[in-house]
Structure 1
Amino acid sequence: MSSPRALPPDCYSNLYYIRNCKMLLLLICVVLGLLVAGGFLLLLKVIRHRTCGRKKSMSGLFWHYVALRIIGWQGFRQRQHLEVDSKNVQRIQEDILLQQLRQNQDTEYGRQFCFREITNLSTFRQCHPLTQSGHYNEYIQRIAQGEENVLISGRPPWLVISSGTLGTCAMVPGTTSTAADSFLQGTALCLSTIFIMYPEVQEMARFHRAFSLHQSDSGIPIVSSTPLPPFATKYLSNLDSLPAAALEITSEPELSYVCLLFALWDKTLRMLEATTTLHLSDTFTYLQNNWLMLTEDLDKGYLNPQLQLPDSMRQQLNFLLRPDPSRACELRTQFEQGFEGIARRVWPELQVILAMDSGYDDLAGDSLREFYCKGVSVYSALYRVAEGLIGVNLWPKKLEQHYVLCPRSVFCEFLPMDHLEEGDQQPPTICMWDVKESGLYELVISNCAGLYRYRTGDVVMVTGFYNQCPVVQVLFRRSQALSVRGERISEERFYQTLKQATQLWAGARLIDYCCAESSIQGPLCSGSDPHYEVFLELRGVRNLSEEQRYKLDQCLQEACPMYKSFRFKGSIGPVRVHLVQPQAFLQLHQYISTSGASQMFRILRRKEEVEFIQRKVIS
């Protein structure tokens, strides 16, 4: 027999090639099979999710899942960066400052203050004075009129309304890098912290402010807060119970109504988010006054005709709504029982509220914790102002709000309050690595948007350190102090004294308040001696006797020796206490926001605001 013929070498190589192709094809099939199986499991989870709460499209739920993962990942990365940066504070701060100066060294302002010649921190402090908002007015006006390369290279994409150093409205430039840093170093990090501390939090409702666009003479948008970068808006919108179309609503009451309607529809919400606790408190007040109409709309599945909305907007929102009589009935039952602890009764799985709670918002935060949102954590995640991100709160479950200063966001200096003399325009400052625990300081910042050694007016207390980074508590603003004879009673001290007096009024609960120096009112003011005018909204009492009203003055004398001395001499008159009608402060907040102010303050400085609240007095 003849032996079998050997195959040519090329045939062996072809066989190996075919075999490798089969193995590769098998591997691809296995991977695709795993992806399909994973997708099927995700689909099961989605379908199970769709059986409760607000119905979402399949694509909406998919992007919801993607947004959770991306924001969680971004926040985790930022937390890692913060861990590293907080151990090298001096180097990071000096690098940030020099980078800001290099970016703007060829602007008119940079040439004026010789930024190109500044190579270290010491030279910067010698060349550039401490500034307040008035220092930049002329530059901002020129930018608004269209001039470029004034404070920053080119022209800013927007101007942000700020409360200014002295509590009066001012405009500051905004930049896209500031917005991106604020989201990544602030919002994303804190959302990631929430997802770790509250792993079940996935469904959330965001209560938005109406976006009213104004423009300068040259067409630069003027906004009340720094807008989110587009990529952040996309991700956050996928986590929100509110349809994206509703964000085009420009009326504050209509937007509040639509936000509430879609939030109430979803029983499974685990987080509520608002810009400030004041805004969220106002939203709950609005709910308390409009729940009948809201539940009726949920029952019928379309928006009430009384709402002032464009027809196209109404059609889009009505298309997304569905009649839900059982949910409407359930909500009516809860609302009829009263509004104490209403948040947890309406959303049984609610775990956390995300809203800034400092300064003016202290009372609103207390109101949420003690009344509307009893039993739910209120997490003030960010210390952020119009001029930029200052710090982040890494402890969601703590009652007091403490913020780790972000060393890579703005360059910080500190004015020690115990060495700060009235009238001293250029007091010495210290840096982030020189502050002392328990010290009180006025915060000074320099940012990439053209503000340098800018006195924010915020007074903070250093409560500790996170590695080398100071941890601060925001106490009050220096401009927010009552003074008719030079006595200076801070907003925070006045609020604590008012709470003490309220406890002496049997059955009374403080809803809101504001105050003014008598000189602001002019002819409207009662009494000849300079004094404080206090406007209160109370619940539980209809009126106060003169003796009860005088309790506030007595408490103030006990808390402030200098005030007591002036009262004893007769150079300051007693506090005048006025009760205002329900919802008066909600209307005042809306009035101030429509007038272009970026923030509401307890101590009113504008005569128009005092006259507005004066018209609401009932006793």
Structure 2
Amino acid sequence: MESNGYEGGLKMIEELTTNAEQIQDELLREILSRNAGTDYLRRFLHGQTDKQLFKKNVPVVTYEDLKPYIDRIANGERSDILVAESITGFFMSSGTSGGQPKLIPITAGGGTTGEIFHTLSESPVIKHFGDVNQVGKRMELMFTRPVIETPSGLRAASVTTTIYSDSGFRTILPKLYTSHVETIFCPEPEQSLYCQLLFGLIQRDEVVMLGSLFASTVLRGLKHLESHWQEMCSDIKAGQISHRITDLGCRNAAASIMKPNPQLADLIESICNCKSWEGIVRKLWPKARYVGCVCTGVMRQYTAELEFYCRGLPLVSTSYACSEATCGINLEPLCKPSDVSYTLLPNLAYFEFLPLKNDPAESIEMRSNSEDIEPVDLVHVKLGHRYELLVTTCAGLYRYKVGDVLMVTGFHNNAPQFQFVERKNVAISVDQEKTSEADLFKAVTEAKALLDPLGFILTEYTSYADTSSTPGHYVLFWELKEKEGNDCKEVDPKVMIECCSRMEESLQYTYKVYRKKNIIAALEIRVVEQGSFEALMDYYVSKGASLSQYKRPSCITSKEALKILDSRVIGKFFSPKSPV
């Protein structure tokens, strides 16, 4: 997008948000007119396209409700059992935040929506930072996952893999990015990461933006650099990549860019060989204007450590999207990650919202009983209220529960703005109580504040409900890091015990009642050695997740994943008393 073209994008945003209700109604009418004759919609609408009939007769559904139709198409049946336009393939969700990967239909017309969304989401960024494409390169960490071919011959791939496979993207890659296509498609994630970081260092004077899809991936890259910078300096000095990199594509890419550069190697060594890596990103890439990645939702836990490495550089979450639909953009890219709100654009999908009980202190099971509540339209949501997002798209999703809980924070013209609260029903539970992702994050945030004065950072956490004994109890896995130095000294056990107590005091009412009645036993924090959550990420990647899409589960259910963390525990601490 040209630097003088962002004004056109901003103008389009104003028009879309001003006419939000009209555009939503027109979009729904278009979707229904096109798809009313499908097997699925004909059951409910009998060929009609009336909005009120749609709301009255078409049910609110989950993926499991549509899965039989999607499976039939994947196995070779015609697309019009679900959608009139031919399905050209499937997006495959990550499967790490809420269960097994899902297959989301793609139609030929979906690409146009994606292009518009990219233009609109980039416009506010260009307004504040200028068009980085005109002045340098993006150092973005990009990864793919294997493409699956369904029995019908249709391809199923992650959204990012689909983007990186596009011929248009491959054409602009050498000009706009530091990574090479061979490194992006390398089947060995660790080798891919090493090479992308190395190429970013070699081109450090051209880098004007750093990032990846998620904050977790950016952090994984910085930690990998922290462990391997000496080896990379040796490579740069010699002009040859490490023999440890065995992938032929990566080696060929390295040969095309590398030449002996002792001066650059010495400079990078002098920067990296320091007591603290606080602000290291700005030192290594002095022309960088911002770090782009999703820092909201489950990624919130990474912002403190990411800000440590990127001190002085804004963390920018440009947009809100999922495998099912593109949804909204951040109109204020300079705001703090904790304050990010996304403006939902009415031309991207037909949006509805299931109202949820609004008291954050209520347990999740009290908040989620909304089966008897009618969904509301985009322009009729209320400020400060929480909703579960429904989407209706041109690709065969009708009144589909995305699984995200959003809270209305304001309006831009007539379009609401939302903060991402949590994934619905991603919760930890021992008995009848349920602690949501948001409740857990709040409790951890309260507890980790005790570590700040001691010079420690909580880099990662997850949880699970240990019901191997009676009563069961909550277990939190914490990985800690010192602000200075690579090693982690032992934290005072008294402080960790106080962290356990602080967490319990911060949890919701139902948990506290059950704890006092000994229905739930004392909360436990297990401190794991550094690198444990990298090993957890590696496990999920080995099972098919992409580094680009990986989301650390808030609650672990996999026995194999629990074994990985339990085998690395270096300290166990329990809350000494019931919360007040």
Place the TM-score, normalised by the shorter chain, in its bin: 0.7 to 0.9
Find the aligned partners of 2:98 and 2:116 in 1 and give their Cα distance: 30
1:276 touches 1:361 (CA, 8 Å); kept in 2? Answer: yes
Find the aligned partners of 1:165 and 1:503 in 2 and give their Cα distance: 26
Selected match of 2:477 from 513, 520, 535: 535
Selected match of 1:224 from 152, 158, 172: 158
Specify the alignment match of 1:125 in structure 2.
Answer: 55
Specify the alignment match of 2:347 in structure 1.
Answer: 408
Shift of 1:175: 3.1
Selected match of 2:333 from 391, 396, 399: 396
For 2:567, give the aligned amino acid. Answer: R
Which blocks of at least 5 consecutive residues in structure 2 are unaligned?
Answer: 359-365, 483-487, 572-580
**538-547 vs 270-279, which moves further:** 538-547
Specify the alignment match of 2:119 in structure 1.
Answer: 188
Indicate whether 1:378 and 2:315 are aligned: yes
Selected match of 1:340 from 278, 283, 288: 278
2:159 counterpart SS class:
coil
Specify the alignment match of 1:488 in structure 2.
Answer: 434
For 2:393, give the aligned amino acid. Answer: N
Share of identical aligned residues, percent?
24
Selected match of 1:362 from 300, 304, 317: 300
Specify the alignment match of 1:605 in structure 2.
Answer: 557
Change in CA separation of 1:451 and 1:162 when aligned onto 2, cut-off 3 Å: farther
Specify the alignment match of 1:159 in structure 2.
Answer: 91
2:459 touches 2:479 (CA, 8 Å); kept in 1? Answer: yes
Change in CA separation of 1:517 and 1:177 when aligned onto 2, cut-off 3 Å: farther
Task: Give the count of matched residue pairs.
Answer: 540
1:273 touches 1:354 (CA, 8 Å); kept in 2? Answer: yes
Measured on the aligned residues, the alpha-carbon RMSD in Å equals 2.4
For 1:498, give the aligned amino acid. Answer: V
Specify the alignment match of 2:190 in structure 1.
Answer: 253
What is the correspondence of 1:270-349 to structure 2 with a 5 Å cutoff?
270-310=208-248, 313-337=250-274, 338-349=276-287
Deviations 1:515-552 (A, max 9, x none): 11224xxxxx4x42121111111123544566444323
1:183 touches 1:232 (CA, 8 Å); kept in 2? Answer: no
Specify the alignment match of 1:214 in structure 2.
Answer: 148
Shift of 1:343: 0.1
Change in CA separation of 1:401 and 1:291 when aligned onto 2, cut-off 3 Å: same
Specify the alignment match of 1:474 in structure 2.
Answer: 420
1:536 counterpart SS class:
strand
1:529 touches 1:571 (CA, 8 Å); kept in 2? Answer: yes
For 1:465, give the aligned amino acid. Answer: F
2:36 touches 2:49 (CA, 8 Å); kept in 1? Answer: no
Find the aligned partners of 2:333 and 2:151 in 1 and give their Cα distance: 43
Find the aligned partners of 1:424 and 1:436 in 2 and give their Cα distance: 16
Indicate whether 1:582 and 2:555 are aligned: no
What is the correspondence of 1:48-127 to structure 2 with a 5 Å cutoff?
69=2, 72=3, 75-114=6-45, 116-120=47-51, 122-127=52-57
Indicate whether 1:205 and 2:139 are aligned: yes
What is the correspondence of 1:479-518 to structure 2 with a 5 Å cutoff?
479-505=425-451, 506-518=454-466
Change in CA separation of 1:617 and 1:217 when aligned onto 2, cut-off 3 Å: farther
For 2:425, give the aligned amino acid. Answer: S
More helix by share: 1
1:182 touches 1:388 (CA, 8 Å); kept in 2? Answer: no
Specify the alignment match of 1:142 in structure 2.
Answer: 72
For 1:391, give the aligned amino acid. Answer: G
Find the aligned partners of 1:277 and 1:458 in 2 and give their Cα distance: 19
Shift of 1:211: 3.7
Shift of 1:421: 5.8
Change in CA separation of 1:165 and 1:261 when aligned onto 2, cut-off 3 Å: closer
Specify the alignment match of 2:363 in structure 1.
Answer: none
Deviations 1:47-96 (A, max 9, x none): xxxxxxxxxxxxxxxxxxxxx53xx4665433322211111111101111
For 1:172, give the aligned amino acid. Answer: I
1:444 touches 1:455 (CA, 8 Å); kept in 2? Answer: yes
Which blocks of at least 5 consecutive residues in structure 1 are unaligned?
Answer: 1-67, 520-524
Q: Higher RCO, 1 or 2 (CA under 8 Å, sep at least 6)?
A: 2
Selected match of 2:180 from 239, 243, 251: 243
Shift of 1:485: 2.5
2:305 touches 2:457 (CA, 8 Å); kept in 1? Answer: no
Find the aligned partners of 1:434 and 1:142 in 2 and give their Cα distance: 36
1:165 touches 1:455 (CA, 8 Å); kept in 2? Answer: no
1:178 touches 1:388 (CA, 8 Å); kept in 2? Answer: no
1:130 touches 1:426 (CA, 8 Å); kept in 2? Answer: no
Find the aligned partners of 1:518 and 1:183 in 2 and give their Cα distance: 46
1:553 touches 1:575 (CA, 8 Å); kept in 2? Answer: yes
Selected match of 1:565 from 513, 516, 521: 513
Change in CA separation of 1:123 and 1:331 when aligned onto 2, cut-off 3 Å: same
Indicate whether 1:551 and 2:498 are aligned: yes
Shift of 1:591: 1.5
Find the aligned partners of 1:111 and 1:237 in 2 and give their Cα distance: 48
For 1:352, give the aligned amino acid. Answer: Y
Specify the alignment match of 1:450 in structure 2.
Answer: 396
Shift of 1:270: 1.7
Find the aligned partners of 2:218 and 2:110 in 1 and give their Cα distance: 25
Find the aligned partners of 2:179 and 2:46 in 1 and give their Cα distance: 46
Indicate whether 1:617 and 2:547 are aligned: no
